[in-house]
Structure 1
């Protein structure tokens, strides 16, 4: 019998679309931020209307609610 393994990742790495800098962040299960300010170039980045948050659009992994939904 196959066991289902659920792994929820609480850390993420955001990549700035302007300068390419990467920043490691810890994700909050309740927070779904749509705005991010890059620490390197200070550009304020907003998500597209079709993405739920900054992690889903610019992160290596989806936000916590989206991870749970797909697992």
Structure 2
């Protein structure tokens, strides 16, 4: 399976959605919603904001590797 590099993040505060490019060389721990300016952090047990709020998990998780 090919690794997907785009994920749609949904803000849990306001519901705003945006497709973002995921980094392949680092985890993204913080993400600021462009609509309400809430700074998202990963949920407990998740390694990054894409695993918590995205439609696609981060590249390392997709490849069944440990994340960052």
Q: Which has the larger radius of gyration?
A: 1
TM-score range, shorter chain: 0.7 to 0.9
| TM-score of the aligned structures, taking structure 2 as reference length | 0.88
What is the total number of aligned residue pairs between the two structures? 65
**Pick aligned residue for 2:33 from 34, 38, 41:** 38
What is aligned with 2:23?
28
Pair 1:16 & 2:15 matched: no
Q: Report the CA distance between 1:30 and its aligned residue.
A: 1.0
- Structure 1: which 4+ aligned runs deviate by more than 6 Å? none
Aligned partners of 1:68, 1:14: CA distance in 2, in Å? 20
| TM-score of the aligned structures, taking structure 1 as reference length | 0.84
Gaps of 5+ in 2: none
Q: Report the CA distance between 1:66 and its aligned residue.
A: 0.3
Residue aligned with 2:9, SS: strand
Q: CA RMSD in A?
A: 1.2
Gaps of 5+ in 1: 1-5
